[in-house]
Amino acid sequence: MKIIRSIVAMQAEARGIRQAGRRIGFVPTMGCLHEGHLALIRKARELADCVVVSIFVNPTQFGPQEDYTAYPRDLERDACLCSREGVEIVFHPDVAEMYPAGHGSVFVDEKELSAGLCGPFRPGHFRGVLTVVAKLFNIVQPDVAVFGQKDAQQARLVQEMVYDLNFPVQIVVMPTVREPDGLAMSSRNTYLSETERRQASCLYRALCRARELYDAGVRDSASLRAAMLATIAAAPAARVEYIEIVDVDRLKPLDVIAGKALVAICVRIGAARLVDNIVLDPSLCS
Amino acid sequence: MKIIRSIVAMQAEARGIRQAGRRIGFVPTMGCLHEGHLALIRKARELADCVVVSIFVNPTQFGPQEDYTAYPRDLERDACLCSREGVEIVFHPDVAEMYPAGHGSVFVDEKELSAGLCGPFRPGHFRGVLTVVAKLFNIVQPDVAVFGQKDAQQARLVQEMVYDLNFPVQIVVMPTVREPDGLAMSSRNTYLSETERRQASCLYRALCRARELYDAGVRDSASLRAAMLATIAAAPAARVEYIEIVDVDRLKPLDVIAGKALVAICVRIGAARLVDNIVLDPSLCS
């Protein structure tokens, strides 16, 4: 397995791989890999001939009060996991390589799908995400890129970017991988104390409660939200940032659920800001 | 020569060309081709194995009061010229192909190099330009793309976009091609009446006057600007939109010229909004 730190070298490598007729599968990450990432890597292996994983904690997607500095980093462990999963290249640039001084005035942004959910709480976040993903796509030149459903809004925005800007990349979104108690795998779970960790399963319990009511025929968002809030209230360390029920396409809030709906929740517990979601799909209704 | 109208077909074609190890040279245009465009096409032929010319009058780079509808279109003539120049593919999508309904919320934008010159007079213009160029790069997948120096701010912004977003494309900027009286070739020259056309050489005369003074040792922008305004005043149909002297890198206004400077002028004559520019380069000083 190669570890590449330079953009020019990565682009040359990608060009060689593609000219040899091999398909590149790409998993962009911020490192601190967990089973969720590994599921993405395995999917990329399945869909492509050569898997590239990027490990880059992207400063431009963190707000000034956010956890950029604290974000966990462990390249050695990550490289070991990647190698074990058959990754061919780890792309691991430093910040000055990705954002050279005196440049960086051009950006990719969006104003509709990013207007709700995490958008208002993280100004500039999705601009940072879309810009770095556009950069990474141009550097790694993947045929297919795999994202996690846990960050549903991010995945939807990347899909829309690929569609709107015509990137020649197929986007695949994989289901959330969960701990035994239902907590979605996340690098940020490492911020939780033992007590906080126990309470963190409240996000998943709230989502399950929403699905239960939905399966019982409840379709108004206010009722689902109220039930979810009541579930979270049982976890004293949890402070709800938002609970939103939106359509899966344009992420617009729904008063009444008709088609496919995304139920998304964001809760702060201690130093961690945790997100999770489920999709309610009428065609799968029991 | 092929004329391709579908994005998917163009992307498949580009992939095939690249996999065959042939370099793609790209010239994006809004059609109504003139000698300026042909110079770009010839350069692309020189630098690549296969030349793709796009012909697309991009609605998103026109303001509501601008000349989108009036902009001249003549595909048959353009195709004929392209064929004669050895162009292999003309990419000519319609608006619904490039901007399908219910999409288009993602965009590329910039806030520094686009802050001056044409930026304030054409709000949204450079967002439209950068977004469509990003789309075209992803569709045509060129190794090299050729732009004209006549639209200096656009060329600089595209260079910066390629740098900032790491597009694997080389940008080449070609000198402005001029009519015998110095008027820069432009599709918008067709808007000029005979009287207006005669007066339109005032842009070039003003630029030459600036170079004359610069060569004589004048370095303060105010003096150059004043002399240029006086030159334009001799053309009664001309209304100056701006005359700016900026550094060639970040396009910031210069009070005193030290390094390379861009002298840019924008004048309205009748229905036409005309731009032109020269670069003052101390290393080339007589």
> Which of B23, B105, B112 best probes binding to A when mutated, by most A CB atoms within 10 angstroms?
B105
Residue contact A7–B166, C-beta within 8 A: yes
Quick one: closest CA in A to B111, which residue? A105
pTM above 0.95, yes or no: yes
Are A107 and B110 a contacting pair at CB < 8 A?
yes
pLDDT at B282: 87
d(CA A126, CA A145): 18
Look at B166 and A130 and tell me if their CB atoms are within 8 Å: no
B187 residue type, one letter:
S
Res. A149: pLDDT tops 60: yes
**Nearest residue on chain A to B102, alpha-carbon basis:** A250
**Rounded Cα distance, B214 and B223, in Å:** 10
The phi-psi region of residue B69 (left if phi > 0; otherwise alpha if psi is between -120 and 50; otherwise beta) is alpha
Any long-range contacts for A100-103 (C-beta under 8 Å, 24+ apart)?
A: A103/B160, A103/B163, A103/B164
Would you state the torsion angle of the CA atoms of residues B142, B148, B151, B155, taken in this order, to the nearest 10 degrees?
A: 40
- pLDDT at residue B283, rounded to an integer: 85
Sign of the Cα torsion B68, B72, B75, B79 reads negative
Question: Given a cut of 60, is residue B126 above it in pLDDT?
Answer: yes
Share of chain B above pLDDT 90, in %: 98
Contacts of A109 in chain B (CB under 8 A): 106-107, 109
Residues of A with catalytic function: 37
Average pLDDT over residues A59-84: 96
How much is the CA Rg of chain B, to the nearest whole Å?
19
Please name the residue of chain B whose CA is at the shortest distance from the CA of residue A160.
Answer: B106
Residues from chain A that touch B103, judged by Cβ atoms under 8 A, are 160, 163-164
For the segment B17-24, the average pLDDT, to the nearest whole number, is: 94
pLDDT value of position A133:
98
Q: In angstroms, how far apart are the furthest CA atoms of chain B?
A: 57
Residue A184 has pLDDT above 90, yes or no: yes
Closest approach of A203 to chain B, Cα-based (Å)? 30
Q: With an 8 Å Cβ cutoff, is A164 touching chain B?
A: yes
Q: Inform me whether the pLDDT recorded for A34 exceeds 80.
A: yes
| Closest of A34, A35, A49, A12 to residue A144, by C-alpha | A49
Which of B34, B37, B92, B103 is catalytic? The answer is: B37
Chain A residues with CB under 8 Å of B104 CB are: 164
- Chain B residues close to A21, C-beta within 8 Å: 19
Domains defined for chain A, CATH in brackets: 2-174 (3.40.50.620), 187-275 (3.30.1300.10)
The pLDDT assigned to B249 comes to 97
Kindly state the average pLDDT of the residues B155-180: 98
Provide mean pLDDT across the span B217-235. Answer: 98
Distances (CA, A) of B265 to A78, B181, B276: 54, 17, 6
Confidence of residue B262 (pLDDT cuts 50, 70, 90): very high
Cβ contact A134:A161 at 8 Å: yes
Contacts of B138 in chain A (CB under 8 A): 165-168
Element of type H or E holding B9: helix B7-19
Enumerate the β-bridge partners of residue B29. Answer: B55
Treating both helix axes as pointing N-terminal to C-terminal, what angle do B125-140 and B152-165 enclose, rounded to 10 degrees? 60
Q: How far is A7 from chain B (nearest CA, A)?
A: 8
Q: Please give the average per-residue pLDDT across B200-206, as a whole number.
A: 98
A163 touches chain B (CB under 8 A): yes
Distances B276 to B186, B264, B273 between C-alpha atoms, Å: 10, 6, 10
Per CB-CB distance under 8 Å, the chain A contacts of B11 are: 166, 168
- What is the per-residue pLDDT for A189? 97
CA angle B277, B283, B284 (to 5 degrees): 60
CB B108 within 8 A of CB B134: yes
* % of residues, chain B, pLDDT over 70: 99
Task: Indicate yes or no: CB of A160 within 8 angstroms of CB of B103.
Answer: yes
CA distance A212 to chain B (A): 32
What contacts A280, CB < 8 A, 6 or more positions away?
A210, A211, A214, A257, A260, A261, A262, A263
User: Structure tokens of A26?
Assistant: 């790409």
- Interface contact flag, A106 B104, Cβ < 8 Å: no
pLDDT above 60 for A266? yes
Interface of A with B in 6-45 (CB under 8 A): 7, 11, 15, 18-19, 21
A135 CB within 8 Å of a chain B CB:
yes
Do the chains contact at A106 and B108, CB–CB below 8 Å? yes
* pLDDT at B285 (0 to 100): 60
As a whole number of angstroms, the distance between CA A78 and CA B206 comes to 61
Parallel, antiparallel or unpaired: strands B24-29 and B144-148: parallel
Q: Does A101 touch chain B (CB under 8 A)?
A: no
CB B150 within 8 A of CB B278: no
Predicted pLDDT of residue A285:
60
B105 touches chain A (CB under 8 A): yes
Helical (H) or strand (E) element with B98: helix B95-98
Q: Which residue of B7, B132, B166 to mutate against A (max A Cβ within 10 Å)? A: B166
